Amino acid sequence: MSTLSLSSALFVVAATAGGGGVAWLAASLHYRTKLALAGAQLELAERAKQKAQELAIQSRQQVETLQQALSEAKRDGVIQSAAASARAEAAAAAAAKAAQEKARKDLVAQLEAADANDRPAHGFADTQPMRPR
């Protein structure tokens, strides 16, 4: 019986060692995959950071160029003439709108006067639609 119990003990030890090896292998594969994913995300973040820095430098250069162009335009008087022409266009548009409103009011007044002339003097509604006016 001692042999049976010794072989059982050896089987248990071997099974435990085998199970531990399988668990270690599974854990190492799992965490290796996680580390690879984290490394890929880190690499992607680094590339995005570098691209953002490049774009920031490019935008600063563009801002500097636009500021120089603006100062040159101000110096040349282009901005003032453009602003004056914009003001003139706005004034012309306002005058056209005012003329349109005046014409509309005149037309409404004429139509109301024509309607007032169509009414009979006694103030009652006309009940004879075929009567010539």
- Indicate whether 40 and 90 sit together in one domain: no
Distance, in Å, from the CA atom of 82 to the CA atom of 74, rounded to the nearest integer, reads: 11
Calculate the average pLDDT of the chain.
Answer: 85
Q: Is residue 19 domain-resident? A: yes
Higher pLDDT, 38 or 84: 38
Q: Is residue 39 domain-resident? A: yes
Distance, in Å, from the CA atom of 133 to the CA atom of 101, rounded to the nearest integer, reads: 31
* Mean pLDDT, residues 77-105: 86
- Indicate whether 52 and 107 sit together in one domain: no
pLDDT of amino acid 1: 46
Q: Which of 76, 106, 124 is the last residue of a domain?
A: 76
Q: Is residue 127 domain-resident? A: no
Q: What is the DSSP letter of 77?
A: T
* Mean pLDDT, residues 115-133: 61
- Indicate whether 85 and 69 sit together in one domain: no
Is residue 51 scored above 90 in pLDDT?
yes
Which tens digit of pLDDT belongs to each residue from 56-83?
Answer: 999 999 999 999 988 887 777 777 777 7
Enter the pTM of the model.
0.41
Enclosing domain of residue 63: 8-76
- Indicate whether 31 and 54 sit together in one domain: yes
